[in-house]
Amino acid sequence: MISSHTLSILVENRPGVLARVSGLFARRGFNITSLAVGETEHPDVSRMTVVLSADGKPVEQCMKQLHKLIHVLRVEELPGDASVDREIALIKVGVGVGKRAEVLEIVEIFRAKVSDMDVDALIVEVTGSPDKVRALTDLLEPYGIIELARTGRIALGRGGRGLKAPTLHPVPIESAS
Amino acid sequence: MTTMTGAQSLIASLERVGTDVVFGIPGGTILPAYDPLRDSSIRHILMRHEQGAGHAAEGYAHVTGRVGVCFATSGPGATNLVTPIADAFMDSVPLVAITGQVPRAAIGNDAFQEADITGITMPVTKHSYKVMDPDEIPTAIAEAFHIASTGRPGPVVVDIPKDVLTSPTAFDFPSTLNLPGYRPTTKPNRRQIRAAADLVREARRPVLYVGGGVFKARAAHELIALAETIGAPVVTTLMARGAFPDSHPLCLGMPGMHGNYAAVTAMQRADLLINLGARFDDRVTGRLDGFAPDAKVIHADIDPAEIGKNRHADVPIVGDAKSVIVELNKAVLGDNSERGRVDLEQWHSEVERWSRDYPFAYDQSEEGPIKPQYVVERFAEATKGDAIIATGVGQHQMWASQMMPLNRPYSWVTSGGLGTMGFAVPAALGAKVGRPDERVVAIDGDGCFQMTAQELATATLEKIPFTVAILNNSHLGMVRQWQELFYDERYSHVHLPQVPDYVMLAEAYGAVGLRAESVADVDGVIDKAMSVDDRPCVIDFRVDAGEMCFPMVPAGASNDEIIVGPNERPYDGVPQAPNEAYQRREEAAS
Ligand SMILES: Cc1ncc(C[n+]2csc(CCOP(=O)(O)OP(=O)(O)O)c2C)c(N)n1
């Protein structure tokens, strides 16, 4: 498996900010394998969780370039062993009544759940580490995966410390020109 | 709070941030802004191409240190600004580009003259605004100017839909800025300064490697004190020419691909590089793994992303060049008074030997064709160094940098990072507007000149006098040189036959047109040009088309492989002929 880096990025919740961040990765030559974004505890601040493949340029350079974006508030690399990583996958498996029991058994073992069921298909919903999602997908593969959707990884560092947005306090304009 | 239109709010905001001049071209969507402009104290200069507007704003910014401002309409007007915006991005020039946009309701519909300019320029702007509410205009302008001019300066685009400009709004200029994600570190960390001073103390072969950041921080004055305190030789990059006086005994001139032999070699042999606001650009370092192999590195930059990007920094310092220089000077002065000055005598004598033995050289015979370097030297003589020099990109740019003694800061206007042909004429125009009391000379190539020559019309009509010296070698000279050296003289599409007639062209634009065809003509036409003070003046110098720009470090080679000249090799370093054509030429010469 290629090693990877997980970056947690707090950004101002502004139009265009996703384009600025994702565009930066491409043009500076960083390969990303996943990007997830959503609001934080603070409505004006979103958190992006980005998984960077480590075979490219140094991650430190990437973090510094991210910092230069005006709407980026904080950037942190999450250590793999001291963070909780999760993603959600929805897996539509093409099983009819015959093989259903087998699939349900697998679902059970993975503590996943079935979110929708039809005569010839069911949707498995799984939350977990990327490894777990991969393992489950591998097992379901032989039954025929019709469609698959993954959220991409979200992650938080363990322990009481947290990446906090800076408090928004306006600064006086010095002579601007 | 006064009620007005968005357009009035825009102009009022620009007045508030101190804009005195705007370079631009109107059109459909920016039209509303041009109406209140009539009643404003702001001078608008009507350019002939938006690229010219952008470069003029850059030229203005280079020589004044203030934000250059340009206006363009949506669509093609805005896309014409892309090159100067990218240029300003690469060279950290404070620029605010204000573009009209199609009305809000039409955005995204491929409306007439719609172009997503904030999207197009995202990779080459420091930041950008798409102002969707007229009430946000003053804040957008205040933030744009703040961002463009502080930290590592750069271009900011402010895109405003037409109906935002026409809508009523209450003008409320902010007194504070709310930019929580933008807090450049300007004051250097004390411990890093201490660590830097310790490295300085240990060094026996230090070099101050000075970049454009010293201009941006307006630290040229302070730099002299630091150089003298340390006693280190100084190299000034293409972006920093004039940041340290060429006349100073410690100055080695420009490093890099076409730099002074002494500057290049001093860096190669250095045991300490003190990088102040430079970025280890590939044109300076040559092949990175062969660059300054024995040197420890102190790297001071206001942009943390530059530090360690290309070359490991033993002592990284984030801060603006002025604070770093002042603090480092204090620290080294303290050490010197406690423990005496470090003796760098041996280093100085080595460096002096390189400077003495390998000056820039060319051969001007009385009868032979005019050498381009000779023209630059005669301009240096005629202006007594008392001029702002703008350049295009190519051989002439390198010769200008090499041969023009630059002893004052903010008197050198060039396109370094992007290498934009066509920069010289509009940049010279903008420089003259920014510093009308200065003499401005553009040293241009015939290829470059043709890319933006139309701005002569602007200069004539606006009475903006400057001299354009075309070093006319009837070629895309720099490319021709590469083909001669690296493609076995297989010249491909580099010849520019003598069309147009530059004298007639100049006259057609209402400028003075002059020509020099032999060495005897040169001083006369320069004198004549110097006496023109009410319009631009173009001189067509017919120069030797075969002249090559040396020294040269071939692209991708190590700086040790520097080629000093067509028939000279350095005594240290590993001489390496690039190809047979070069060798043939050399044999013929000897
Ligand atoms: C816009 C642009 N197009 C192409 C180039 C590539 N280029 C670099 S130097 C050069 C030749 C410039 O010719 P000229 O202006 O005559 O100057 P000279 O080198 O002869 O002094 C070219 C084509 C460039 N730098 N910029």
Instruction: State in Å: Cα B452 to ligand 1 middle.
Output: 13
pLDDT band at B577, cuts 50/70/90? very low
Question: Read out DSSP for B474-515?
Answer: SB-HHHHHHHHHHSTT---S-B--S-S-HHHHHHHTTSEEEE
In the structure, what pLDDT confidence band is assigned to residue B221 with cuts at 50, 70 and 90? very high
Q: Give residue A174's pLDDT.
A: 61
Residues of B within 8 A of A19 (CB-CB) are 119, 122
Task: Return d(Cα B423, Cα B58) in angstroms, integer.
Answer: 9
Q: Do A3-78 and A84-155 show the same overall fold?
A: yes
Q: How far is B306 from chain A (nearest CA, A)?
A: 9
Complex prediction ipTM: 0.91
B283: left (phi over 0), alpha (psi -120 to 50) or beta: alpha
Instruction: Tell me: pLDDT of B555 over 70.
Output: yes
A132 CA to middle of ligand 1, Å? 56
Residue B495, number of CB atoms within 10 A of its CB: 11
pLDDT in tens, B31-89: 999 999 999 999 999 999 999 999 999 999 999 999 999 999 999 999 999 999 999 99
Q: Is the per-residue pLDDT at B584 higher than 80?
A: no
Confidence class of residue A29 from pLDDT cuts 50, 70 and 90?
confident
Distances (CA, A) of B584 to A100, B138, B568, B576: 81, 65, 14, 14
The answer to whether the beta carbons of residues B61 and B93 sit under 8 Å apart is: yes
Nearest-angstrom CA–CA distance, A52 and A62: 9
Phi/psi for B143 (5° steps) reads: -70, -40
- Residues forming beta bridges with residue B155, ordered by sequence position: B95
In the block, tokens 């003298």 appear at B228
Tell me the whole-structure pTM to 2 decimals: 0.95
Distances (CA, A) of A47 to A53, B40, B142, B219: 19, 44, 27, 39
- Of B398, B478, B482, the residue with max ligand 1 atoms within 8 A of its CB, to mutate for a pocket test, comes to B478
Residue B191 neighbours by CB under 8 Å, 6+ apart: none
A147: closest CA of chain B, how far (Å): 31
pLDDT at B450: 98
C-beta separation of B166 from B104 below 8 A? no
Q: List, in sequence order, every residue forming a beta bridge with A10; answer none if it has no partner.
A: A47, A74
- Rounded CA separation A89/B386 (Å): 69
The torsion angle over the Cα atoms of residues B436, B400, B415 and B34, rounded to 10 degrees, is 20
Contacts with B319 (C-beta within 8 Å, 6 or more apart), sequence order? B185, B186, B187, B188, B189, B300, B302
Q: How confident is the model over B317-355, as pLDDT tens digits?
A: 999 999 999 999 999 999 999 999 999 999 999 999 999
Residue A143 C-alpha, separation from nearest chain B C-alpha, in angstroms:
43
pLDDT at A97: 83
Average pLDDT estimate for B221-234: 98
B469 lines ligand 1 (CB under 6 A): no
Specify the pairing of strand A45-53 against strand A32-39: antiparallel
- Mean predicted lDDT score pLDDT of chain A: 90
Mean pLDDT of chain B: 95
Residue B400 corresponds to which amino acid? A
Mutational pocket test of ligand 1: of B393, B470, B495, the residue with most ligand atoms within 8 Å of the beta carbon: B393
Q: Could you check whether the bond before residue B500 is cis, i.e. omega within 30 degrees of 0?
A: yes
Q: What is the mean pLDDT of the segment spanning A131-152?
A: 95
Model pLDDT, residue B576: 40
**Amino acid occupying residue A153:** R
| Ligand 1 atom nearest to B396, measured from its CA | 21
Q: What percentage of chain A reaches a pLDDT higher than 90?
A: 74
Q: Is the pLDDT of residue B306 over 70?
A: yes
CATH of domain A3-78: 3.30.70.260
Contacts of A16 in chain B (CB under 8 A): 118, 130
What pLDDT is attached to residue A96? Answer: 83
Residue extents of the structural domains in chain A:
3-78, 84-155
Q: What percent of chain B has pLDDT over 70?
A: 96
On whether any CB of chain B is under 8 Å from the CB of A168, the answer is: yes
Show the DSSP H helices in chain A as ranges: 17-27, 59-68, 100-109, 130-140
Residue A163 is predicted with a pLDDT of 84
- Tell me what the mean pLDDT of segment B433-438 comes to: 98
User: Would you state the structure tokens that stand for residue B75, as one six-digit string?
Assistant: 């669509």
| Ligand 1: centre distance to CA A162 (Å) | 52
**Closest residue, chain B, to A27 (C-alpha):** B123
Q: Residue holding tokens 């603006």?
A: B320
CATH code for the part of the protein at A84-155: 3.30.70.1150
pLDDT the model gives residue B23: 99
What is the model's pLDDT at position B71? 98
- Return the higher-pLDDT residue of A48 and A170: A48
CB neighbour list of residue A134: distance below 8 Å, 6 or more residues apart: none
For residue A11, the chain B residue with the least C-alpha distance is B181
Question: How crowded is residue B470: how many other Cβ atoms within 10 Å of its Cβ?
Answer: 29
| Cβ atoms B179, B143 nearer than 8 A | yes
Q: Do A176 and B182 touch (CB under 8 A)?
A: no
**Per-residue pLDDT at A80:** 82
C-alpha B258/C-alpha B272 separation (Å) is 22
Q: Does A22 touch chain B (CB under 8 A)?
A: no
Query: What chain B residue is nearest to A44 in terms of C-alpha separation?
Result: B180
Question: Does residue B337 come out as left (phi exceeding 0), alpha (psi in the -120 to 50 range) or beta?
Answer: alpha
pLDDT band at B385 (very low <50, low <70, confident <90, very high): confident
